[in-house]
Amino acid sequence: MTMSMRMEHGSSPYERGLAAFEKNALDEAIGLFTQAVEADDRPALAMSKRGVCKVRLGDRTGAAHDFAGALERDPRCTPALVNLGNLALEANMLQEARSKYEAALKIDGNSAMAHHNLGIVLRREGKIGESVREIRLAASLESGTNKLIERWKAFWRRRAQ
C-alpha cells in the first residue's frame, strides 16, 4: 500500500486495526493487522496485536505463532515478548514467563506491563517484597504515561481554541 493510498483512507491498516481492536471487532482487526503486515506497516507490532486478538478469540496456538513471528521480524518487539510471557504465565510456566518479561525489560525498562506481570510471577514464586516493588513501579509508570497523555490533550485543546 502506498502512502497516498493510506492517506486516502485517513489512516494506515495498522491504525485502522487498532481502532477495530478498541471496538472489540476482533475479526475485522485481525484482517486489518494482516493487511498491515503485508503492507510492511509496523509488521512486528501488527503481528503482536493480531496475536492478542487471537488470544481473545481463544486461539492461543495462533497467537503464539503471531508473537513468535513478530519477534522474527523485530527481535526487540517488547509487546510480543510480554505477550509470550503472558501465555506462559497463563500456563503456570513461571520460569518461561519470567524470562520473557525480563527480556522485555532489557529492551524497554519502562514497560509497565512487563513490570506488572513480572510482579505477578514473583508473587507466585513467594518473593513478596520483589513483587510489590515491581507492581508499584508498574503503577508509577502507568500513571506517568496517563499524565503525559492528559498534558498533550490539554495542549492540543488550547491550540485549537
DSSP letters, 30-63, are HHHHHHHHHTTSSHHHHHHHHHHHHHHTT-HHHH
Give the span between the Cα atoms of 66 and 151, in whole angstroms. 34
Instruction: Catalogue all structural domains in the chain, each as residue range(s) with its CATH number.
Output: 1-75 (1.25.40.10), 98-161 (1.25.40.10)
Scan for cell 486516502, then name that residue. 8
Q: What is the DSSP code (8-state) at residue 114?
A: H
pLDDT digit string, tens, across residues 20-69: 999 999 999 999 999 999 999 999 999 999 999 999 999 999 999 999 99
Residue pair 26/43 in contact by the 8 Å Cβ criterion: no
pLDDT digit string, tens, across residues 116-147: 999 999 999 999 999 999 999 999 888 866 65
